[in-house]
A and B are shown apart, each in its own frame.
Chain A
Amino acid sequence: MSAQRATPRHGGGGVQAPAGAARPVPADTALPRAARVLLALVLLAVFGGLALAVLALAQPAPGLAAAVAGRIDDSGVSHPVTAVLLNFRGYDTLLELVVLVLALVGTWSVGRARGCAGNAPGPLLRQLPRLLAPLMVLVAGYLLWAGAHAPGGAFQAGSLLGGVGILLCLSGQPLPGWAQALVLRLAVVLGVAVFAALGAAAALLPGGAPLDWPPAQAKTLILTIELAAMLSIGVVLAALFAGGRP
């Protein structure tokens, strides 16, 4: 067992400075003072390299703004960021939703939720959701709808829904019985399932490709996917907050 002790720690190049520092090491650090100073110097050099890289990129560059603007009429939405997220680079977004589901499955595999209320919630915390939740759901709906032509969209809206879930959780409201088993799981995977099913179906159209939305239906498809994604994002974020499987 002792053989593995010799392995060096991250990044610092395995430097083990003598622990001869006069001051006691603060409880939260594992490294002696000399090693920390050395590490800081090494990282300063790293910063120098990174800064040189940035300085080499000083001249103007258009990026892909023109390319996006050129094809935005075929994307189904008029807001460029939404067009990139759900059409041009929609596959990234699909995988990103999978990442969220995966993080939740991982969290559930680790342990049970202990309830987020902890101590009995005060009167303010009990009343707050009643006032705030409807407002937040309303704003989320607006953000989702606005995302087609202005900043906003499924992620911002979904995280607001997640906030509603967190507030409900904090106020000690128990999960309704119907939401415990299959329905909760369905809500978690809904976004990925709808996105992937539509994306695969698009490949079956003549001349189609995976996630290739026909321009005429693109807006409807994107809004459908965003609606499903928003619900899933909200549920997953709230479930991550609860910290374990129900």
Chain B
Amino acid sequence: MLPVLAAPAWMLAVVFVPLAAALLCFLLPRRAVILGLVAAVLTAAVTFALTLEVAAAGTAHTLLGGWAAPLGILWRADGLSAALLAMTALVGVTVSLYAAAYFRDDAHARVFFWPLWLLLWTALNALYLSADLFNLYVTLELLGFAAVSLTALGGGAAALTGAIRYLLVSVLGSLSYLLGVALLYHSCGSVDIGLVAACIPDAPRPASQVAAAAMMAGLILKTALFPFHFWLPPAHGSAPAPVSAVLSALVVKASFYLLLRLWLDVLGGGGRWAAELLGLLGVAAVLWGSVLALRQERLKLLIAYSTVAQIGYLFLALPLAVAGGAAAWTGALYLALAHGLAKAAMFLSAGNLLRFGGHDRIAELDSAVHRLPLTLTAFALAGVSIMGLPPSGGFIGKWLLLKAAFAQGRFGLVVVILLGGVLAAAYVFKVVGHAFTPAARERRLRTVPPGMEWSALLLAAAAIVLGLTLPLISPLLQVGAAPAAMATAFAAWSAA
């Protein structure tokens, strides 16, 4: 009895605990910090419980309102959802600890950070659980508004401009997605992922294809794939450090997850031409993002452009995965998880350096290593994962992609994957190198609370450890994965 009840109860808690906490934080602003911290720990705990449950007992379902599809909305937690939920929980609880210290002296930001951040967390969890295309639209909007409001919390003109551009792009992306949902609903008479997937091969031809294209286009815009990345660096670069960490590590992953979910579970995992096109954009993103990251003079913008490049890797995997199957999908997912952890660690480290020196100009980071050894260690470890050096999570992801690329004889992609790693090494060492140079002159420096240093280090260490846990995570990702037979059906459909 208990195991049967367990998964739906955890699913309920995963969405409702952060939601209830967000309302409480809004009602009781003076207690927001302690409420937020308790809620973060609780949310992480129930999320890990759900993840373990999914790993042990397989895909979990909940019928919301007790109604089955097509009338009702379903929650569905399979391995892919569980892995991203767990990553979100780990980053979320660490960023919460960090934010408690970061916003200590800023009463305004403190009061509004907690409800907004907990609502963002609610939106992420709701998005990863939902198996309903229209409900996913609502979670996307929730996620977008929370992210925009948090970006604006930076307060200055740059943060406001970044937030407004982000809002316009986010709403445009959601509308494009919604247009696709409207066409799919009228093609299939349902918005349930399972039912739509079953109907897609027989759906009216141009309608379902245009629907898929509109949804993909909206999600690509939200994921900031080159050349739609223009909005990302200004927003991620001007937000407060814990917000930047959440935006880069978690928010762009959510739209990528949804894109992957559509590709695999709704469209059946085929689509050769679309995959090649997106792969090409991914290649451009890796090169363009890395080169621009190298040219930045400010640390947070460097890290933001690095996100543009790393998103490129996720899309570069698509043609390999469509042609070669499981290993490349696992590689892309591994890169997404590793990037989430490592990029959060990098932005938190940048926040420490910014707090310490009062600026984030890379050329003036001299001697930071002596004062903030933990922060610099965190940045370097995160850098190891971003570069893709063993034994990090980033290494496993790239290694799986390289293996697939070699097996398929795609040597051009091999070169790009390796070149992206070399460029990443160059921009990571640019930062670390400046931090090691002795200080030219003493400046007025502020202390950094130890909690902020340790949070960054914890996430960076997690990005490394992720590389050693492939035997644990690979089976989790396979839980509830779409059967490969669907792929051939889709291939026949899309070729016509």
Instruction: Indicate if A touches B (C-beta under 8 A).
Output: yes
Residues of A whose CB lies within 8 Å of any CB of B are 1, 3-4, 7-10, 13-14, 49-50, 52-57, 59, 61-64, 67-68, 71, 87-92, 95-96, 98-99, 101-103, 105-106, 108-110, 182, 185-186, 188-189, 192-193, 196, 200, 203, 208-213
Contacts of B169 in A (CB 8 A): 10
Contacts of A62 in B (CB 8 A): 189
Stretch at the interface among B138-146, B411-419, B431-439, B470-478: B138-146
Report whether A105 and B65 are in contact in the complex, using a CB–CB cutoff of 8 Å.
no
Report whether A102 and B230 are in contact in the complex, using a CB–CB cutoff of 8 Å.
no
**A87 vs B205: C-alpha distance when bound (angstroms):** 33
Report whether B210 and A52 are in contact in the complex, using a CB–CB cutoff of 8 Å.
yes
22 contacts between A and B (CB under 8 A): A4-B233, A4-B292, A10-B228, A52-B206, A53-B207, A57-B183, A62-B189, A63-B185, A63-B186, A67-B70, A87-B65, A91-B135, A99-B142, A105-B116, A110-B149, A188-B26, A196-B16, A200-B12, A209-B62, A211-B64, A212-B64, A212-B66
Q: Does B134 sit within 8 A of A, measured CB to CB?
A: yes
Closest 10 CB pairs of A and B: A106-B149, A212-B66, A53-B210, A109-B112, A7-B230, A56-B207, A56-B204, A91-B64, A53-B207, A209-B66
Q: Separation in Å of the B118 CB from the closest CB of chain A?
A: 10
Residues of B whose CB lies within 8 Å of any CB of A are 8-9, 12, 16, 19-20, 23, 26-27, 62-67, 70-73, 108, 112, 115-116, 119, 122, 126, 134-135, 138-139, 141-142, 145-146, 148-149, 152-153, 169, 172, 179, 183, 185-187, 189-190, 204-207, 209-211, 213, 227-230, 233-234, 292, 295-297, 301
* Set B134, B153, B228: member contacting A109, Cβ < 8 A: B153
* Set A13, A49, A91, A106: member contacting B148, Cβ < 8 A: A106
Contacts of B26 in A (CB 8 A): 101, 105, 185, 188-189
Report whether B138 and A95 are in contact in the complex, using a CB–CB cutoff of 8 Å.
yes
Q: Separation in Å of the A243 CB from the closest CB of chain B?
A: 14
Report whether A57 and B204 are in contact in the complex, using a CB–CB cutoff of 8 Å.
yes
Contacts of B112 in A (CB 8 A): 105, 108-109
Given A99-B145, A211-B64: A92 and B183 interface contact (C-beta under 8 Å): no
Contacts of A102 in B (CB 8 A): 116, 119, 142, 145-146, 149
Report whether B210 and A192 are in contact in the complex, using a CB–CB cutoff of 8 Å.
no
Given A105-B116, A186-B27, A200-B12: A57 and B66 interface contact (C-beta under 8 Å): no
Q: Separation in Å of the B308 CB from the closest CB of chain A?
A: 10
Q: Separation in Å of the A39 CB from the closest CB of chain B?
A: 15
Contacts of B63 in A (CB 8 A): 209, 212
**A193 vs B209: C-alpha distance when bound (angstroms):** 40
Q: Separation in Å of the B344 CB from the closest CB of chain A?
A: 22
Q: Separation in Å of the A102 CB from the closest CB of chain B?
A: 5
Report whether A63 and B16 are in contact in the complex, using a CB–CB cutoff of 8 Å.
no
Q: Separation in Å of the A107 CB from the closest CB of chain B?
A: 8
Contacts of B119 in A (CB 8 A): 98, 101-102, 105
* Set B9, B65, B211: member contacting A212, Cβ < 8 A: B65
Report whether B190 and A64 are in contact in the complex, using a CB–CB cutoff of 8 Å.
yes
Given A71-B71, A106-B148: A88 and B210 interface contact (C-beta under 8 Å): no
Report whether B152 and A110 are in contact in the complex, using a CB–CB cutoff of 8 Å.
yes
Interface centre among B71, B122, B135, B148 (most CB of A within 10 A): B71
Contacts of A52 in B (CB 8 A): 206, 210
Q: Separation in Å of the B178 CB from the closest CB of chain A?
A: 13
Given A91-B73, A106-B145: A203 and B12 interface contact (C-beta under 8 Å): yes
**A3 vs B427: C-alpha distance when bound (angstroms):** 15
**A99 vs B27: C-alpha distance when bound (angstroms):** 17
